[in-house]
């Protein structure tokens, strides 16, 4: 099936216009920030940025091969994985798996170059890979913060709020996974409520649990209740995010979850998680080769479990303050590595996850937005197909920020407009406007300006561009305080998408049975 | 003369190390933010980002030719300019100058591809063009702001402060021009104090006045007193920033200043200043062609005044909020145009000015840094050789911010590190580190990490990467409040570079004579 395309060169405003119920409806939505759901598919119309030349890329690939051949990767506590690798020709010694030159790459070759991921509403379905770009919220924070209540442990209510905010935004295409960690629920049961929230409060594609193989199976089982028993055999509707236990290790939790998703023909994102200096050497070339080796090994396993299972080549590679050991984000070294890893991934021909609005800042201040904007732009120009942490991330991923979330959304909108590129055509060149307004004359009143003024530019939801005097009169609000109003408006105006009552009942039954069958575990 | 090069791949830390008086001296400087003066020359080691293909670029060039041929450019009140253009083969009718296809481009061809600009101290000299990148502070704000005193009109004391802060930073290479507008001095005299401040409190190359041709002459005369009477004939030591009176007009003030600098064989930066929708159509393709036409016309005039006079192809092209008429910055459309204009300039083979840390925000908040970081990164990847407004800019250029200034400095340092690129060599690939620390082991203690940990990463001056608890204990300071301390430390520790007393006297004499010869004018 060919998906509908939105031509972003005509600006998001134009896309909204076609769906809109006239000017007042549009204005009302903009006011609330509660814009219509996202364009299903974003097609990249700008080139990728190629940092490294052929020779440098070849050296990185050779070094990845050397790591796989001489050092190897450990798959700990997973005999099935070791057997699969051995049968495929790898050398296995204890938990250590070593690959001859080219073997891991060859095993990755059966993964699709791009694949379709279905949402509960077909309008929310998307494509991962190729020229497509997908944004999703932050993943994993145990804390949340907002201007009124401050920083605190996240709850399932916060989790639902971020699923709702994600659903309400046109700039996020994917509902994410653990948008925050609902620590008010038992560790062994919270995955049920998380998956339910994604399925009930959103229609966008989402991620299930990976914290234990049986929780991955529960997540997939709940998706089957919604999409139909046999549907998952041929269609991808859920993903698992597999973080490698870098350096060079997959433990049985991660490989077990990976196998569960792959067996069900569902997608995994295989993400080496490397802070340079701790989980790898301190120099970027080594980290790039290591990340490439780790990703290939995990993707190879997915293909040994099920040839053709959809995967995303993931990456989370950043720097540390080497005097304190603290992770750092949006740094020049991390951005350079983002550019380079994208090139390595493209040479494998797989969908790429990299980039994100990343920061070490505790608050949504200048540091947060400088680091976030820089790391996001690096990922976009690098050619990322899937951006984790596109909204809300603070404090190195420990905290999900309500204000940061909507601040990031606005930047996501800008990045999507940038991906639409520039069409150099007669309409844009505006010869008539120059005939109408000559040297020294204002162009505001020309017919060309009047015809284009509503759609020419992305209109920020949050940026203040008023005069100083007007800004003072409006209360001297900085971006964070303007954002505080915005997410509250978005939640106030949120409307849940319909869900067939029988399906809702089936989900609740499943959860009740699972909950009853296990005692609560709190760690 | 071949200039000393700093290999940024070894990180700014490495560069500092070679100059430093050991660890404690280094630590003291870092503490104060008062780092040693900048590396004289930054060599770009990363590719430029090419947004448009040959066909699109050709269409933009054709349209620029069409504008020059059919619409023309006006040079108002400048008979000499009109005569020079007529003699060169252009068609002149009233103030309107029209160029046959290719004429303006051909006239630009005598300008140098790159040129050396001398600082008062040879270590501060720099190259504009080619693979070199030069940062300078904001230009033009009539207001200043800081956290304690708030927003107020700028004074000559503020002006001196920003010259000193620029001198003290290793990340700014150029002292700038009107770093803020000293409105406490008469309009017709303040250029003397501004030029004196650049010459007295800094050694970095700088800009003189362009607000009247005679003030340009005064600026050049003062430079001659410092560098020697005949020296300027062969060496560039001062620049004039010529903003085009867009759309498609040069008034006699701008063309007069342009001619004064070119006649003295000093450099001009020719910068079309276009807000799309007001000084040109609202669509980026038209604005790009117009900016290209305007820049070529001004550069052509400089070459008609003096063949080979050094020029910079400038650009200041941004968007507006078309509902309110307010200028907007760091927008996706402006960033796309930054990428495209750089390609047009490279095809002319001239040094390029574009990019900058631009924002409409009134305060140094998340909006300020998101917009600034994005527009700066666009300029850097586009291939800018000279970045105006690299530090301090707020409120669309109306305000120079003390805190914003040092926040931007830190991002300048990051961008310079990024320009150093990635060297994929054996040392960086770190094979030994993998032999020392295998799968699952920490790399912090390896010999390779210990050998590289001090120079591997750019170390931010201002980013907080502490734990949340530590950050709370330190007073919960956001970036703006940390920056407030930093600029004060930098000013406290500033030491003026020596200036020969006889030269200082000559400058003061010159100023006293000029001041005595004119009554004060206040508007």
B366·A361 Cβ contact <8 A: no
Residues 196-225, chain B, touching A (beta carbon < 8 A): none
Q: Which among B395, B355, B354, B398 has a CA at the least distance from the CA of B377?
A: B355
Angstrom distance (rounded) from CA B39 to CA B353:
20
A280·B443 Cβ contact <8 A: yes
Residues A286/A288/A293/A297 CA torsion (nearest 10 deg): 140
Question: Residue A90: CB partners within 8 Å, gap ≥ 6?
Answer: A97, A98, A99, A100, A103
The least confident of A34-38, B52-56, B145-149, B290-294 is: A34-38
Whether B363 shows a pLDDT value over 60: the answer reads yes
Q: Does B291 touch chain A (CB under 8 A)?
A: no
Whether B133 shows a pLDDT value over 50: the answer reads yes
Mean pLDDT of B393-403: 98
Whether B21 shows a pLDDT value over 50: the answer reads no
Q: Who among A322, A372, A378 is closest to B457 (CB)?
A: A322
B43 vs A362 pLDDT, higher one: A362
pLDDT at B32: 35
Q: Does B448 touch chain A (CB under 8 A)?
A: yes
Average pLDDT, chain A: 92
B51·A47 Cβ contact <8 A: yes
pLDDT at B48: 98
pLDDT at A17: 35
A71·B286 Cβ contact <8 A: no
A49·B49 Cβ contact <8 A: yes
Whether A33 shows a pLDDT value over 50: the answer reads no
The pLDDT tens digits of the residues spanning B422-448 come to: 999 999 999 999 999 999 999 999 999
pLDDT at A41: 53
Mean pLDDT of A346-366: 98
Angstrom distance (rounded) from CA A238 to CA A210:
12
The pLDDT tens digits of the residues spanning A475-499 come to: 999 999 999 999 999 999 999 999 9
Whether A15 shows a pLDDT value over 50: the answer reads no
pLDDT at B209: 97
pLDDT at B28: 36
> What are φ and ψ of residue B64, in 5° steps?
-60, -45
Q: Who among A67, A381, A446 is closest to B434 (CB)?
A: A67
Whether A31 shows a pLDDT value over 90: the answer reads no
B332·A415 Cβ contact <8 A: yes
pLDDT at A5: 36
Q: Does A14 touch chain B (CB under 8 A)?
A: no
- E-assigned strands of B32-82? 73-75
Rounded to a whole number, what is the distance in Å from the CA of A188 to chain B's nearest CA?
26
pLDDT at B72: 98
Q: Who among B335, B372, B465 is closest to A326 (CB)?
A: B465
CB B269 within 8 A of CB B225: no
pLDDT at B523: 86
Q: Does B150 touch chain A (CB under 8 A)?
A: no
B322·A454 Cβ contact <8 A: yes
CB B455 within 8 A of CB B23: no
pLDDT at A233: 94
Mean pLDDT of A15-35: 36
Parallel, antiparallel, or unpaired for β B126-129 and B114-117? Answer: antiparallel
Whether B503 shows a pLDDT value over 50: the answer reads yes
pLDDT at B29: 37
Rounded to a whole number, what is the distance in Å from the CA of B410 to chain A's nearest CA?
10
Mean pLDDT of A124-147: 97
The pLDDT tens digits of the residues spanning A371-426 come to: 999 999 999 999 999 999 999 999 999 999 999 999 999 999 999 999 999 999 99
Note the maximum CA span of chain A: 79
pLDDT at B12: 32
Angstrom distance (rounded) from CA B485 to CA B32:
9
- How many other C-beta atoms lie within 10 A of the C-beta of residue A32? 16
Q: Does A459 touch chain B (CB under 8 A)?
A: yes
Whether A114 shows a pLDDT value over 60: the answer reads yes
pLDDT at A227: 98
pLDDT at B323: 85
A433·B464 Cβ contact <8 A: no
pLDDT at A395: 98
Best mutation target among B71, B145, B254, B281 (most A Cβ atoms within 10 Å) is B281
B283·A429 Cβ contact <8 A: yes
User: What value of ipTM does the predicted structure carry?
Assistant: 0.93
Whether A244 shows a pLDDT value over 50: the answer reads yes
The pLDDT tens digits of the residues spanning B445-502 come to: 999 999 998 889 999 989 999 999 999 999 999 999 999 999 999 999 999 999 999 9
Angstrom distance (rounded) from CA A278 to CA B444:
5
Q: Which residue of B has its CA nearest to A446?
A: B281
Distance of CA A441 to the CA centre of its chain: 46
The fraction of chain A above a pLDDT of 90, given in percent, is 90
> What SS3 class is residue A188?
coil
Whether A7 shows a pLDDT value over 50: the answer reads no
DSSP B370-391: HHHHHHHHHHHHHT-SEETT-S
Q: How confident is the model at residue B42 (pLDDT cuts 50, 70, 90)?
A: confident
Cis omega before residue A247 (within 30°)? yes
DSSP A454-521: TTSS---SS---S-HHHHHHTT---HHHHHHHHHHHHHHH--PPP--HHHHHHHHHHHHHHHHHS---
Tokens 């605190």 sit on residue: A152
- Dihedral sign from CA coordinates of B362, B364, B369, B375: positive
pLDDT at B434: 97
CB A352 within 8 A of CB A346: yes
Whether A124 shows a pLDDT value over 90: the answer reads yes
Q: Does A67 touch chain B (CB under 8 A)?
A: yes
> What SS3 class is residue A128?
strand
Mean pLDDT of B284-313: 98
Q: How confident is the model at residue B39 (pLDDT cuts 50, 70, 90)?
A: low
pLDDT at A117: 97
Q: Which among B320, B314, B309 has a CA at the least distance from the CA of B279?
A: B320
CB A95 within 8 A of CB A75: yes
Question: Residue A297: CB partners within 8 Å, gap ≥ 6?
Answer: A68, A73, A97, A99, A104, A250
Report the DSSP beta bridge partners of residue A313: A270, A352
Task: Give ∠ CA A26-A27-A30 in degrees, rounded to 5.
Answer: 85
pLDDT at A29: 37
Rounded to a whole number, what is the distance in Å from the CA of A228 to chain B's nearest CA?
41
The H or E element spanning position B271 is strand B267-271
Q: How confident is the model at residue A340 (pLDDT cuts 50, 70, 90)?
A: very high
Which residues of chain B lie closer than 8 angstroms to A409, CB-CB? Answer: none
B465·A360 Cβ contact <8 A: yes
Q: Which residue of B has its CA nearest to A280?
A: B443
- End-to-end Cα distance, chain A: 45
Angstrom distance (rounded) from CA B304 to CA B89:
11
The pLDDT tens digits of the residues spanning A458-481 come to: 999 899 999 999 999 999 999 999
Rounded to a whole number, what is the distance in Å from the CA of B259 to chain A's nearest CA?
21
Parallel, antiparallel, or unpaired for β B91-93 and A399-401? Answer: unpaired
Whether B11 shows a pLDDT value over 60: the answer reads no
DSSP A133-175: -EE------SEEEETTTEEEE--HHHHHHHHHHHHH-TT--S-
The pLDDT tens digits of the residues spanning B154-201 come to: 999 999 999 999 999 999 999 999 999 999 999 999 999 999 999 999
Q: Which among B356, B361, B474, B364 has a CA at the least distance from the CA of B415?
A: B356
Angstrom distance (rounded) from CA B134 to CA B138:
13
pLDDT at A3: 34
DSSP A310-337: -EEE--EEEEEETTTTEEE-S-HHHHHH
Best mutation target among A50, A151, A281 (most B Cβ atoms within 10 Å) is A281
CB B364 within 8 A of CB B394: yes
Q: How confident is the model at residue A16 (pLDDT cuts 50, 70, 90)?
A: very low
A414·B332 Cβ contact <8 A: yes
The pLDDT tens digits of the residues spanning B239-267 come to: 999 999 999 999 999 999 999 999 999 99
Q: How confident is the model at residue B41 (pLDDT cuts 50, 70, 90)?
A: low
Q: Which among A79, A73, A132, A87 has a CA at the least distance from the CA of A299?
A: A73
B461-479 residues labelled b (16+ CB within 10 A) or e (exposed): bbbbbbebeebeeeeebbb
């Amino acid at each position: 099936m060919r998906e509908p395309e939105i031509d972003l060169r005509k600006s998001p405003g134009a896309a909204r216009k076609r769906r809109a119920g006239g000017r007042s409806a549009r204005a009302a939505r903009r006011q609330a920030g509660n814009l219509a759901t996202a364009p299903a598919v974003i097609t990249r119309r700008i080139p990728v940025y190629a940092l490294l030349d052929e020779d440098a890329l070849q050296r990185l690939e050779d070094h990845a091969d050397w790591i796989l051949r001489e050092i190897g990767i450990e798959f700990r506590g997973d005999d099935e994985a070791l057997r699969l690798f051995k049968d495929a020709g790898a050398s296995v010694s204890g938990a250590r798996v070593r690959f001859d030159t080219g073997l891991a790459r060859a095993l990755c070759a059966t993964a699709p170059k791009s694949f379709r991921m279905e949402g509960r509403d077909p309008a929310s379905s998307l494509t991962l890979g190729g020229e497509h770009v997908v944004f999703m919220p932050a993943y994993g924070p145990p804390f949340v913060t907002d201007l009124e209540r401050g920083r605190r442990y996240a709850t399932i209510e916060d989790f639902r709020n971020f699923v709702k905010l994600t659903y309400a935004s046109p700039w996020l295409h994917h509902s994410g996974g653990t948008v925050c960690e609902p620590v008010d629920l038992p560790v062994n049961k919270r995955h049920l409520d998380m998956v339910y929230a994604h399925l009930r409060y959103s229609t966008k594609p989402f991620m299930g649990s990976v914290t234990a193989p049986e929780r991955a199976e529960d997540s997939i089982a709940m998706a089957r209740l919604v999409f139909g028993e046999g549907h998952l055999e041929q269609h991808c509707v859920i993903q698992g995010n597999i973080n490698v236990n870098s350096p060079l290790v997959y433990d049985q939790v991660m490989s077990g979850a990976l196998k569960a998703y792959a067996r069900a023909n569902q997608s995994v994102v295989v993400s080496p998680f490397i802070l340079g200096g701790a989980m790898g050497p301190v120099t970027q070339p080594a980290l790039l080769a290591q990340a490439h080796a780790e990703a290939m090994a995990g993707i190879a396993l997915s293909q040994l479990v099920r040839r053709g299972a959809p995967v995303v080549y993931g990456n989370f590679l950043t720097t540390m303050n080497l005097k304190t050991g603290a992770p750092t984000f949006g740094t020049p070294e991390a951005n350079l590595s983002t550019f380079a890893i994208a090139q390595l991934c493209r040479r494998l021909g797989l969908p790429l996850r990299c980039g994100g609005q990343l920061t070490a800042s505790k608050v949504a201040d200048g540091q947060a937005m400088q680091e976030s904007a820089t790391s996001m732009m690096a990922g976009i120009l690098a050619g990322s197909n899937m951006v984790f942490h596109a909204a809300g991330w603070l404090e190195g991923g420990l905290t999900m920020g309500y204000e940061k979330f909507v601040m990031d959304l606005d930047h996501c909108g800008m990045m999507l407009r940038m991906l639409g590129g520039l069409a150099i055509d007669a309409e844009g060149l505006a010869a008539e406007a120059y005939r109408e307004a000559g040297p020294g004359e204002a162009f505001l009143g020309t017919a060309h300006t009047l015809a284009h003024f509503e759609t020419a530019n992305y209109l920020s939801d949050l940026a203040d561009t008023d005069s100083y005097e007007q800004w003072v009169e409006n209360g001297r609000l900085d971006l964070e305080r303007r954002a505080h109003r915005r997410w509250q408006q978005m939640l106030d105006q949120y409307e849940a998408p319909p869900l067939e009552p029988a399906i809702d009942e089936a989900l609740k039954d499943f959860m009740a049975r699972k909950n009853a069958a296990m005692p609560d575990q709190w760690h």
